[in-house]
Structure 1
Amino acid sequence: MDTLDRLTADQRDKLQNFQAITNQEDLDAALAILENHGWDLQRSVHSVFEEVGTDDHLPEDAPQPASSTSTNSTTSGGLQRQTVSLWTLLTLPVTLPLRIAWAILSYAASFLPPSLRPIPRPPAAQTTRSTTPRDLKAAAARFLLDFEQIYGTLHPQFFQGTYTQALQKAKSEIRYLLVYLHSPEHDDTSGFCRQTLGSESLSSFLIQKNILVWAGDVRNSEEFQVSNILSATKYPFLAIIAPHQSSLKVVERIEGPCSPDEVIAAVTRVIEQVDPQLLSIRAERQAREQARMIREQQDEAYQASLRADQEKERRAREEREKQEKEREAAEKAEKNREARIEAKKKRKQHLTDTLPAEPDASESQLSKLSIRLPSGERVVRRFRADDTMQNLYDFVETRDLLPLEFDVDFVIVNTYPRKVYVNMEETLRDAGLVPNASLVVEEKIEEDE
């Protein structure tokens, strides 16, 4: 129990599938095989099938194909192989011509139509054909092609995959699996394939009941191992496998020749007996699926709510950062304004203290200016004609310019024709303000520059 407790749910599921497929009841042995293959179920099952590639690896009670010999079933190890090799050398003068004749006959038979070709038998030294993982995937397609060439295209819809994949599909979809083990060497095989498997009523029945059908040639290593697992002792052989609790179970075997009606009757009996259990399994799975969908919907709703909260928090954070920047900018602007005001106050005081006295009226070359301030007050003052516009601006700056703010700049303009005086080095004479003029003080705007 401690061993199973440390496994994940996926590993426990693979362990159950592996034991169901290989009929391996030893838990430690099954775990060792799966761990050695990185919990790859397909590779683990294939490794078991590879072990039965030759007679040296077959269990003593395994059913043998009709053409196999029992030479290697009584002794084992290098001694047996050494004896066989010596015998082969001694009989070579006899067996070599026979082998050559067999090769010539096989080549000649390849030109006959598929239905008339003799069924090839494996040599006595090898009862099964070794397969690689790629061969296992191609075996179903090869079997279908050979079957249709010999027996025709009317047959059940064979699953195009390995036995392991068929079991996994049956379990995942909670379907019945009908397994057909094909042994061309048995006399009843041809009639069974043409009359029973070639029956339209059987094919329609299997489609109607949504039954998965897998077939394989027992001359291949995987299919031969399947025959051992299913305890096939007579051919043609059919087995009906159904989901049982958390694994799969063989619920019916049909061995020997039989009619389509007998197959249909057997499958119908199984369905009547097992369907209540399958309904329960389907209901449990549906409940789990619904629970999973509810969890997914809840998770999605939670994630959506989380994203909305995160987006809301992001916007709030951006708004806070924006307000903070605006506050900092306002504080900085206010500090700059206060600094300008303080600088202007100091400048105004300095100009007031250093402003030259108004020229005497008796002097020549004077400019008498009437200046209207922003408050409406009018100031009249004399300036020398050679005074600059800077002297005029300095005088105006010493006056009270309300309602203009203290930090606001001003300009001096001539209203008619309108002219803004901005050249501080220009003299009053050059500006056309001699002998007199009427001027206005206004708030400076950008276009006055």
Structure 2
Amino acid sequence: MDLDTLSPSQRQALSQLQAVTNGGDTEVAIGVLDSVGWDVQRAADVIFDSNPSAPLPVPRTSTDTTPSNMERFEVDDTEQDGLLGGRPNRPRQPSHSTNIAALSRPLRFLLAILTFPFHVLRTFFRMLRIPLPQLPMTLSSLTIYYRNPLGPRNDLKLDARGVAERWVRALEEETGAVRLSRRAVSSEGASSSVGSSGSAAGMTARKQAGEEGERILSDFFLGSYEEFAKACAREDNPKLGCVILVSEEHDDVAEFKRSTLADSLLVRLMHDNDFLVWGGDVRDRDAWSAAQKLQATTYPFVAFIGLQPRRGGSSTSSTTSPVLTVLSRHQGPSIPTATAPTSAPTLVQHLNESVLPRVSPYLIRVRNQAAERATQKALDAERRDRERALRAEQDRAFEESKRRDKERIERKVAEERKARAEAVRAAEEKARDEAARERQELEQQQWEVKRMEWRRWGRRGLVPREPRPGNVEPARGKTLRVGVRMPDGKRGVRFFGEGDSVTAVYAYVDTLLIPEGREWSSDMDPVSPPDGKVTGEEGLMQAMREAGKEGDSWWGFNLVLSYPRREIRWEAGKKLGEIEGLKAGGQLAVEMLDTPVVKGKGKERATSSGSDDDGYVTEESD
């Protein structure tokens, strides 16, 4: 199709497409436009295989007085969600030098012919909303190379930080400047730390810098572009970011590095306003990806980014989460200094008059809100710690009180158990004592009954006949008068022969303990010993042995001479005439061994074997 047959609108579309594709073959451009109905956007999609929703740049009119190689210095608050990753909204082909474009033009023509059927088929499938088939790997690779003839360098030996450090070291070599963080190092140390294998151009630049004065560079962020963008978008401490992209194939890059990047006024302005600066060469993969996301078309390229409220939300609203936004783009040469888009004075003026006044208040407010949230979070944490400590103290106090209560309850239970045990033991002891007492009383009663039987039998069988006073019997000898004084005051007198035994006297005294009464009269005394024992003293001794009581324990009393005091001990078979003090008779006192309280003749008397110091039992009258 001839150019003369084109209408004015078709010619304008052709010129726009050629401006986008940096020239190219006219016939191919006309063919592509004709296949898509002269839609420049769709034609660009066919050629570049890009997102059809992105707007194309509008050519400048003759009335636009802005230089053609510089964008307007206006804050672009369009949300750039692609800054933090993902496919860019509108990737553009970076512009290279005229020589590279001329050399790549035949290759682009050939690639356009080869990929044209696939683009037409892809457009047809999109119109019918049919899933798009993928291009073969070879054609996809060729298309990528067509977009970037230089191609990103694929240095697998270095990570993103290593690539950034390499670019910054090269920048220091080329400009002879040092970063702000290294200014404390002496000039000799700084020169040696730049690199021991610097190029001749770098040494010349350092020499010139030494003559002109100190040259400084910003403290570049060493890392990937994604890490840089995330550091700028930190909600607790957001920062303004400056992205610098260069291409060594452009003739303007060297001057840009020396005049703009090493300008002390620009560097200090960004340093004082806490900028994060990141840079790279688009030949590197990470810088190439950043160029696609930031829609860089000309180099050198400078972009300022920062957090901004989302479109449609109030800038003062605290409920709208901010988004990382491209504030402005600057691309093109850095000379002449007064008007060049990337010159240091132009950038300084733009920052002071446009970016900082508009963005700084919002960032300060975001930082203050983040600081308030951090302070509130710290206060909440401190309050939680205090509450936790208070709860722990209350828990400890509760546990201590619980422990004391438990100990008190256990102690009370133990005391009650001990008291019950002691009560049971006391009751058992009392019962045992009662049983023993009852048993003892029973035994005592039985013993008293048995003794009374022996007393009554002794009155008949053991007490001999009383001889006549002054009479001497051949078998019994001379008559002795024996007086007996009982503990209850009763007295008795009885005559015995000196040949009678001591048993006769004890049996006589024993008969005095028999109660008075008709039933206790001597006429009713038994004629034989109890239990069928042998009669006489021999039967008595046998009864003593069986009862386990001999002597005083059997009789229950002692006989004592009144003066001088002398005990008359019972001995079986001993005669009265053999006892000193009774040879001529005497007065005997009866001392009971069990010291009972006896009642007799209306008197109460306490008897004891040793109630008086002189050994005599005293008689007390009412």
Q: What's the TM-score, normalizing by structure 2?
A: 0.40
Q: 1:83: Cα distance to partner?
A: 12
Q: Does 1:255 align with 2:336?
A: no
Equivalent position amino acid for 1:284 in 2: Q
Q: 1:80: Cα distance to partner?
A: 6.0
Q: 1:151: Cα distance to partner?
A: 3.2
Report the CA distance shift for 1:131/1:347 in structure 2 as closer, same or farther (over 3 A): farther
Equivalent position amino acid for 2:345 in 1: D
Distance 1:63 1:226 in 2: 12
- Selected match of 2:136 from 66, 78, 87: 78
Identity of aligned residues (%): 20
1:370-385 map, 5 Å: none
Report the CA distance shift for 1:271/1:80 in structure 2 as closer, same or farther (over 3 A): same
Distance 1:285 1:79 in 2: 48
Distance 2:329 2:140 in 1: 41
Equivalent position amino acid for 1:229 in 2: K
Name the structure 1 match of 2:166. Answer: 142
Name the structure 2 match of 1:209. Answer: 273
What is the CA RMSD across the aligned residues, in angstroms?
A: 3.9
Give the SS at the match of 1:240.
Answer: strand
Distance 2:141 2:330 in 1: 41
Distance 2:137 2:436 in 1: 127
Distance 1:157 1:193 in 2: 15
Name the structure 1 match of 2:228. Answer: 166
Report the CA distance shift for 1:209/1:229 in structure 2 as closer, same or farther (over 3 A): same
- Selected match of 1:331 from 409, 416, 439: 416
Name the structure 1 match of 2:540. Answer: none
Structure 1 segments unaligned to the other structure (5+ residues): 1-18, 24-40, 53-57, 85-123, 369-435, 437-449
1:407-426 map, 5 Å: none
Q: Report if aligned partners of 1:21, 1:167 keep a CA contact under 8 Å in 2.
A: no
Distance 1:170 1:303 in 2: 37
Distance 1:285 1:133 in 2: 39
Give the SS at the match of 1:312.
Answer: helix
1:239-388 map, 5 Å: 239-245=303-309, 246-256=322-332, 257=334, 258-269=342-353, 270-355=355-440, 362=552
Distance 1:185 1:335 in 2: 108
Q: Does 1:22 align with 2:82?
A: yes
Q: Does 1:237 align with 2:301?
A: yes
Q: Report if aligned partners of 1:196, 1:259 keep a CA contact under 8 Å in 2.
A: yes
1:6-155 map, 5 Å: 20=80, 22=82, 45=85, 48=86, 61-63=92-94, 69=104, 71=107, 74=112, 75=115, 77-78=135-136, 81=139, 127-130=151-154, 135-152=159-176, 153=178, 154-155=216-217
Distance 1:127 1:134 in 2: 17
Q: 1:191: Cα distance to partner?
A: 1.7
Q: 1:204: Cα distance to partner?
A: 2.3
Q: 1:187: Cα distance to partner?
A: 1.1
Distance 1:278 1:189 in 2: 32
Q: Which moved more, 1:274-283 or 1:239-248?
A: 274-283
Tell me the alpha carbon deviations over residues 75-101 of structure 1, each in whole angstroms, 9 at most, x when there is no partner: 2633964998xxxxxxxxxxxxxxxxx
Give the SS at the match of 2:217.
Answer: coil
Q: Report if aligned partners of 1:65, 1:127 keep a CA contact under 8 Å in 2.
A: no
Report the CA distance shift for 1:354/1:272 in structure 2 as closer, same or farther (over 3 A): same
Tell me the alpha carbon deviations over residues 198-233 of structure 1, each in whole angstroms, 9 at most, x when there is no partner: 233332222222111111221122211211221212
Please identify the structure whose Cα radius of gyration is greater: 2
Name the structure 2 match of 1:225. Answer: 289
Distance 2:437 2:357 in 1: 117
Distance 2:551 2:93 in 1: 142
Q: Report if aligned partners of 2:81, 2:323 keep a CA contact under 8 Å in 1.
A: no
Tell me the alpha carbon deviations over residues 64-123 of structure 1, each in whole angstroms, 9 at most, x when there is no partner: 555584647632633964998xxxxxxxxxxxxxxxxxxxxxxxxxxxxxxxxxxxxxxx
Equivalent position amino acid for 1:178 in 2: C
Give the SS at the match of 1:242.
Answer: strand
1:381-400 map, 5 Å: none
Report the CA distance shift for 1:137/1:79 in structure 2 as closer, same or farther (over 3 A): closer
Q: What's the TM-score, normalizing by structure 1?
A: 0.54
Equivalent position amino acid for 2:136 in 1: G
Equivalent position amino acid for 1:261 in 2: P
Equivalent position amino acid for 1:251 in 2: L
Tell me the alpha carbon deviations over residues 114-166 of structure 1, each in whole angstroms, 9 at most, x when there is no partner: xxxxxxxxxx8760134779723433223223333333333111011221222
Q: Report if aligned partners of 1:240, 1:267 keep a CA contact under 8 Å in 2.
A: no
Give the SS at the match of 1:321.
Answer: helix
Q: Does 1:157 align with 2:219?
A: yes
Equivalent position amino acid for 2:362 in 1: Q
Q: Report if aligned partners of 1:140, 1:215 keep a CA contact under 8 Å in 2.
A: yes
Distance 2:411 2:390 in 1: 31
Report the CA distance shift for 1:219/1:351 in structure 2 as closer, same or farther (over 3 A): same
Q: Report if aligned partners of 1:241, 1:250 keep a CA contact under 8 Å in 2.
A: yes
Distance 1:203 1:223 in 2: 21
Distance 1:347 1:242 in 2: 103
Give the SS at the match of 1:272.
Answer: helix
Report the CA distance shift for 1:79/1:197 in structure 2 as closer, same or farther (over 3 A): closer
Name the structure 1 match of 2:240. Answer: 176
Name the structure 2 match of 1:187. Answer: 251
Q: Report if aligned partners of 2:240, 2:306 keep a CA contact under 8 Å in 1.
A: yes
Q: Report if aligned partners of 1:179, 1:239 keep a CA contact under 8 Å in 2.
A: yes
Aligned residues: 284
Distance 1:321 1:333 in 2: 18
Distance 2:245 2:298 in 1: 10
Report the CA distance shift for 1:362/1:165 in structure 2 as closer, same or farther (over 3 A): same
Q: 1:312: Cα distance to partner?
A: 2.6
